[in-house]
Structure 1
Amino acid sequence: MSTAHYDSNGNVAVIRLDNPPVNGLSLELRQGIVEGIKKAEQDDAIEAIVITGSDRAFSGGADITEFGTPKVMQEPILTTAIHYVETAKKPVIAAISGNCMGGGLELALGCHYRVSTPDAQMALPEVKLGILPGAGGTQRLPRVIGVEHALNMIVSGTPVPAKQFQGTPLLDEVVDGDLMEAALAFARKVVADKMPLKKVRDLKVKHPNPEGFFMFARNTIGAMAKNYPAPLKCLEAVEASVKKPFDEGMKVERDGIKQLMQTPESAALRHAFFAERKTSKISDVPSDTPTRDINKVGVIGAGTMGTGISINFLNAGIPVTIVEMKQEGLDRGVEAVRKVYEGQVKKGRMTEEKAKAKMDLLTPSLSYDDLKDVDLVIEAVFEEMGVKEQVFTKLDEICKPGAILASNTSTLDVNKIAGFTKRPEDVIGLHFFSPANIMKLLEVIRGDKTAKDVLATAMKLAKTIRKTAVVSGVCDGFIGNRMINQYSREALTMLEEGASVQQIDKAIEKFGFAMGPLRMADLAGGDIGWAIRKRLYAENPGMKKNLIADRLCEMGRFGQKTGAGFYKYEPGNRKALHDPEVDKVVDECRAEMGITPRKISNDEIVKRCVYALVNEGARILEEGIAQRASDIDMVYLTGYGFPVFRGGPMHYAEQVGLANVVRDMEAFDANPNTQKGFWEPADLLAKRAAEGKGFDQ
């Protein structure tokens, strides 16, 4: 149970916030703060009050476990607690270390004085949830660090180390030694010197040219924010701190947060925030499941994926042995890793010493024998089952007992791969996304025999290398690629029916995707999609073929890597250019298929592509491949460029209304060019639509 511990140290009362892990400002904690202030005021022996947290966090802000519950608005709400602190009859000093964010920073700003360690991290990150600081942050922060710095912090939500505020009214002291000792000494100094009870609200906000600054800031933020309303609302509130009295500015802040809480963008961002935290929860794997130690990692394959995977572990300080078959390929891979670190040094993001230290953790090898002592080995070889069989047969012979054997396969059967070994319980899929050292998503593929401690270890390791891990069961393409196959097929179907390459991509990009489906195919490599299609055609003889895409591949047009795909590309330039040759191929294929092209609206393009994702996602949920709809959303938000302000395909469908999605699908099913059954709603989708519920209800 969270609480605020009250104690005294001579003439100073100490209120210590205690709600692990980040001292979220729960109802109990808010009550404890108010009760502590009252108790100190009533004790004649107490002359000052110190509020502190833990080494890890003064307070990380609101308690997320209370979101969506009555406790959020139960008194004392945070503004009430801050009012008690600010109006206390005895000086209140905030002793800050660790994270001081959101409501935690607002609480500190309500104190009369603030003492901090230099490395404490301060932020008002509410904008990342599509809202703005709601307990005076937009009004008090400009008063202590200036309008421009405050606006930057509030609009970006980026943490800033406390040492940068030394010398500003935000901090009265920055201490390198024992924080509590310094805070107590400062409190006694305040009492001895009869220092005033300073209120941040009483400070004046000054700017030499507020009209010009806010006009410039509004244009800049408006251009950058686009689909996100919160940054401009933050600006309005900060502007009010300059132009209005404090209490009127607080009203602008309150009105702003009320309006933002009702926006679909905020709902989507809050959904994504909670969805990311749910991904680590696995229904049948307790949180206290013992994990295996991963002190050394092996990577097989020094190509683009293998080197990217290696960098993740090097960044985390974990030694990597990377294995290739030929010296030339090995040298090329090591050089690729080196170039990444050299680039970090040139950009000033890493010192040469640190870059060298990372490279020293990398051991290149031409022999599997050098993997005898690794705790985890990840293969990143050609996506063909015969090749995987050779690799895992060798690993089974060479790797020590208890070593985890992982495949980076993006589509293949992990159960079959596990069957190539005598230890299927140690086999798991770790599907990284390219570029593997940058992309945040990691699909963790749980085989039928994967041990629970192996799964728990993979999820823990994902946090170590700063990935968002989503568990998937075994199926063709797992969560992400299985769904994207349907999305891509529908885009190609509309290309056959009359939409142009450019129209399809522009419609999807206007919806908010980072890249349209055909540009994405060119980036990934047309040969990859072609290989998957040919395998699926063989496995499903009645499957409708994507004639246009296949024809382009038959011509050797594999996208950016060959300088031509759905678009053409000039040497050294990734810009996708219109190619009349593609128009010719499209016209020829339409004629062969007997299709008379028709006009297709951008709205239809978006719905058919996105609802294809939704329907396949519903099937994935039905089959238990994904644990929850929000996991599917995280796959698409972190791995496939789905617009964050729409919350992921499953959340977006719920916002549209599942009944409306099903109704549109019924209309699409009447299209004579549609493969039979493609638009038949998944049972779960149809059921939830009929019940008026969401996917996870």
Structure 2
Amino acid sequence: MPVQYELSGDVAIITFDNPPLNVFGQAMRAGLLAALEQAEADRPARLILTGKGRAFVAGADAREFDGPPLAPQLNDVLARLVALPFPTLAAIHGAALGGGLEIALSCRFRIASPSATLGLPEVTLGLVPGAGGTQRLPRLIGLAAALDLVGQGRSVPAPEAARLGIIDLIADDPLAAAQGIDDQTLRRAIPADYRPAPAADDAAVAAAHAQAHKRAPGQTSPHLAIDLVAAAATQPLDSTLARERQTFIDLRGSDQARALRHIFFAERAALSQGKAWPAPVQDIRSAVVVGGGNMGAAIAYAFLSAGLSVTVVETGDEARSRAEANVGKLIAQGLHRGALTEAKAGALRDRLSFVTGYADLPPADLAIEAAFEDMEVKRGIFAALQDALPETTILATNTSYLDVNVLAQGIRNPGRFLGLHFFAPAHVMKLLEIVRGDLTSGETLGAAFGLARQVKKMPVLAGVCDGFIGNRILSRYRQAADVLLIEGALPAEVDAAMRGFGMAMGPYEAQDMSGLDIAYANRRRQNLRNRSDKRYVPIADHLVERLHRLGRKTAAGWYDYTEDGKPLPSEEVTLCILAASQEAGIARQPFAAEAIAQRLLLAMIAEAVDILAEGIAATPRDIDLVLVHGYGFPRWRGGLMHHADRLTPAQVLHDIAHLATTDPLSWPVPPLLHRLVAEGRTFDTLNQTGDKA
């Protein structure tokens, strides 16, 4: 039974038993209601609710949200719990999240283990708490603290929960503590429903809305949740509980909630994907990082933070000093943010070393290069690494574009070679593209997925092509944006349109951030200027070659930059764009923001469809994860391919075919798209096990 009821003397215990995390679905709700009815009949001296296994209750079963609500509803069950005439206690270990915390908030007394985690993360799924969380929590901890937790969907460890007042006691054995606590303490415990309403705090409400706009721009559920918490201070509890429940029901079927659930399940699938490969005998414990520039230093810091010992290799003493400074700066930033204590920073430094050249390398489980994107430079690094390290060392490239199979040539035991494409800044960005070469072994892939778990990255398996998944789509995105420039748009218009869609940054402000020289080097490597299979737009090359504008680092890129880093439209760039249009004989036309966003999204979707057809990405949801975690695609839109399904494949095909009539070089129609439309299928059907593009 998923819910067990036991009466021992005058103590009744309800145990949630739905492994592995006691996720709460209809059967659990019905079981809890039946147990409460039995407790009402037994009238114990106290009733304790606890969880079996790894958690108290880790939340609701999100799979139910795609269907109609199923009785009994948790809010109705909890109303029965609140009304019980005898003391009720929650004995919490592991996770008490979402509905799990709402169950605990409905009890009179809460005890948690030191390692427990508590929170109301519903807004991260496009929802609001639906069983009293927005009303009971502020009655326990005040409006400002509740707004912070509910509005961000933030979870807190037990010590912080105790400080805030969410729990009443921390104990190593919460169930034993709940059985042993004295009757007088329980008599003084007042259920949240009978506590005074929190004091109104308009400033805290405004701050919470501002934080939600910053952290989740375009998403609606955080603001609805904040308004519900604020209502706890001014409106009767019965009416706000009903309003909360209705808001939850209204949001369940919303586009944003469906999109966020899609990403949630895609992430779970990605994190379990490593099970397809042989599990490593042990975690990777030591690593060599070749190159201590910004990327290499960030990779080294990510490894150190995961407990690895790290050796950073540089080519000379001056470069080595810069590498030491780069990693040292990241450790200092960690201390400043509070992410590191002095003791932890010292432990990181103890596991970190720097060397010049390859003569004195210690044995390592993994070696990864983070050098300049040059094939011969990287092949030289791997020749040196395989001579300096054991044959068992996994060798990895962090290349963003280069052919992993060519890099593997000449490596002894090439099964140990693969791409590990981190995203800048590598210690912050969650995405890790694991690039499988033709000869990469299953054991190496298993170790790579294990490493992703160690460093808390979101792993996506990619095949070998120019740019893999993410950067290949990025290149198409930028090329389509450049076509818009020569046809009539300006950089600020393009960037504003994509921010309006929900992207973290537009393509031109993002390129200014990374540097125009990087994209320029990639275009030269691909020889775009002389190719006949792609439409070449010269504007970006003119900015680098003629105007020497490289982005923020030169205070001039697609934008001009003030001394304090504020971007301003550049007259010089505008004149360059107008001249390019004139030289090409193009009569410029204005573009509405919606038309700009549509054009660029269609370009990304078209490239992604080809990536699926070629097997570079295994599933559409892998592409969604890459775009969300690596490129600032709005999470609440579910990723690129989920968004394509919302548009419908038939509409995407129609729009691309229309563009192809005037610009066939830029808009070849993907054959896979034709096939899906002909079969009446969605992209999501390609996510099903065994269904290959």
Structure 1 and Structure 2 fold alike (TM over 0.5): yes
Aligned to 1:238: 229
The 1:329/1:218 distance shift into structure 2, 3 A limit, reads closer
Contact in 1 for aligned 2:365/2:392 (Cα 8 Å): yes
Deviations 1:483-537 (A, max 9, x none): 1111100111111112122222222222222221122222222222122222222
**1:308 equivalenced with 2:295 (yes/no):** no
Q: Which amino acid aligns with 2:336?
A: K
Alignment partners' CA distance in 1, 2:488 and 2:219: 33
Aligned to 1:628: 619
Contact in 2 for aligned 1:537/1:545 (Cα 8 Å): no
The Cα of 1:472 is off from its aligned counterpart by 0.7
Unaligned runs of 5+ residues in structure 1 are: none
Q: Give the share of equivalent positions with the same residue, in percent.
A: 38
Alignment partners' CA distance in 1, 2:368 and 2:628: 25
Contact in 1 for aligned 2:217/2:502 (Cα 8 Å): no
Q: Which amino acid aligns with 1:536?
A: Q
**1:509 equivalenced with 2:506 (yes/no):** no
The 1:425/1:194 distance shift into structure 2, 3 A limit, reads closer
SS of 1:100's partner is strand
Alignment partners' CA distance in 2, 1:593 and 1:464: 52
Aligned to 2:688: none
**1:203 equivalenced with 2:195 (yes/no):** yes
Q: Which amino acid aligns with 2:674?
A: A
* Matches for 1:100-179 after TM superposition, within 5 Å: 100-166=96-162, 170-171=166-167, 173-179=168-174
When the two chains are superposed, the root-mean-square deviation of aligned CA atoms in Å is: 2.8
SS of 1:553's partner is helix
**1:693 equivalenced with 2:681 (yes/no):** yes
The Cα of 1:89 is off from its aligned counterpart by 5.5
The Cα of 1:372 is off from its aligned counterpart by 4.8
The 1:639/1:166 distance shift into structure 2, 3 A limit, reads closer
The Cα of 1:10 is off from its aligned counterpart by 4.6
The 1:469/1:563 distance shift into structure 2, 3 A limit, reads same
Alignment partners' CA distance in 2, 1:609 and 1:443: 23
Contact in 2 for aligned 1:131/1:261 (Cα 8 Å): yes
Contact in 2 for aligned 1:129/1:269 (Cα 8 Å): yes
Contact in 1 for aligned 2:280/2:450 (Cα 8 Å): no
The 1:696/1:168 distance shift into structure 2, 3 A limit, reads closer
Contact in 2 for aligned 1:490/1:612 (Cα 8 Å): yes
The Cα of 1:658 is off from its aligned counterpart by 2.3
The Cα of 1:168 is off from its aligned counterpart by 7.5
**1:95 equivalenced with 2:86 (yes/no):** no
Contact in 2 for aligned 1:498/1:598 (Cα 8 Å): yes
Q: Which amino acid aligns with 1:546?
A: V
Deviations 1:364-396 (A, max 9, x none): 012324445100111111212112221222223
The 1:66/1:369 distance shift into structure 2, 3 A limit, reads farther
The 1:426/1:385 distance shift into structure 2, 3 A limit, reads same
Q: Which amino acid aligns with 2:328?
A: R
Aligned to 1:566: 558
SS of 1:565's partner is coil
Alignment partners' CA distance in 1, 2:137 and 2:286: 46
The 1:428/1:81 distance shift into structure 2, 3 A limit, reads farther
Deviations 1:416-438 (A, max 9, x none): 22222121211111001111112
Aligned to 1:51: 49
Aligned to 2:255: 264
* 1:546 aligns with one of 537, 547, 556: 537
SS of 1:22's partner is coil
**1:431 equivalenced with 2:415 (yes/no):** no
Contact in 2 for aligned 1:441/1:638 (Cα 8 Å): yes
Aligned to 2:450: 460
Contact in 2 for aligned 1:292/1:453 (Cα 8 Å): no
The 1:161/1:443 distance shift into structure 2, 3 A limit, reads same
Alignment partners' CA distance in 2, 1:646 and 1:101: 24
Aligned to 2:178: 183
**Relative to structure 2, which stretch is displaced further, 402-411 or 27-36?**
27-36
The 1:65/1:397 distance shift into structure 2, 3 A limit, reads farther
**1:605 equivalenced with 2:596 (yes/no):** yes
Contact in 2 for aligned 1:102/1:123 (Cα 8 Å): yes
Q: Which amino acid aligns with 2:142?
A: G
The 1:221/1:303 distance shift into structure 2, 3 A limit, reads closer
SS of 1:204's partner is coil
Alignment partners' CA distance in 2, 1:216 and 1:40: 43
The 1:448/1:27 distance shift into structure 2, 3 A limit, reads farther
Alignment partners' CA distance in 1, 2:34 and 2:278: 35
* Matches for 1:179-578 after TM superposition, within 5 Å: 179-186=174-181, 189-190=182-183, 195=187, 199-207=191-199, 209=200, 212=202, 216=206, 220=210, 224=214, 226-282=217-273, 286=276, 289-537=279-527, 540-555=531-546, 556-570=548-562, 573-578=564-569
Alignment partners' CA distance in 1, 2:164 and 2:499: 44
Alignment partners' CA distance in 2, 1:164 and 1:292: 34
Aligned to 1:681: 669
**1:4 equivalenced with 2:3 (yes/no):** yes
* Matches for 1:2-81 after TM superposition, within 5 Å: 3-7=2-6, 9-41=8-40, 47-53=45-51, 56-64=54-62, 66-68=64-66, 73-81=69-77
* 1:86 aligns with one of 73, 76, 82: 82
The 1:241/1:587 distance shift into structure 2, 3 A limit, reads closer
The 1:430/1:214 distance shift into structure 2, 3 A limit, reads closer
Alignment partners' CA distance in 1, 2:122 and 2:186: 37
Contact in 2 for aligned 1:310/1:322 (Cα 8 Å): yes
Report how many residues are paired: 682
The Cα of 1:361 is off from its aligned counterpart by 1.1
Deviations 1:52-102 (A, max 9, x none): 1258532221134555367xx434442344244334464331112232211
SS of 1:449's partner is coil
Q: Which amino acid aligns with 2:28?
A: L
Alignment partners' CA distance in 2, 1:26 and 1:369: 59
The 1:205/1:428 distance shift into structure 2, 3 A limit, reads same
The 1:35/1:460 distance shift into structure 2, 3 A limit, reads farther
The Cα of 1:479 is off from its aligned counterpart by 0.3
The 1:11/1:607 distance shift into structure 2, 3 A limit, reads same
**Relative to structure 2, which stretch is displaced further, 376-385 or 56-65?**
56-65
The Cα of 1:552 is off from its aligned counterpart by 1.7
Contact in 2 for aligned 1:321/1:370 (Cα 8 Å): no
SS of 2:493's partner is helix
Deviations 1:233-286 (A, max 9, x none): 213322443344333222101111122224322222222222222223449x53
Deviations 1:20-51 (A, max 9, x none): 4432113443344334444555558x543221
State TM-score, norm by structure 2: 0.91
SS of 1:358's partner is helix
Contact in 1 for aligned 2:405/2:464 (Cα 8 Å): yes
Contact in 2 for aligned 1:54/1:97 (Cα 8 Å): no
Aligned to 2:689: none
Q: Which amino acid aligns with 1:122?
A: L
Contact in 2 for aligned 1:90/1:197 (Cα 8 Å): no
Q: Which amino acid aligns with 2:368?
A: I
Contact in 1 for aligned 2:660/2:669 (Cα 8 Å): no
The Cα of 1:127 is off from its aligned counterpart by 1.0
Aligned to 2:691: none
The Cα of 1:478 is off from its aligned counterpart by 0.3
Q: Which amino acid aligns with 1:683?
A: P
The 1:127/1:519 distance shift into structure 2, 3 A limit, reads same
The Cα of 1:215 is off from its aligned counterpart by 7.2
SS of 1:280's partner is helix
The Cα of 1:352 is off from its aligned counterpart by 2.4
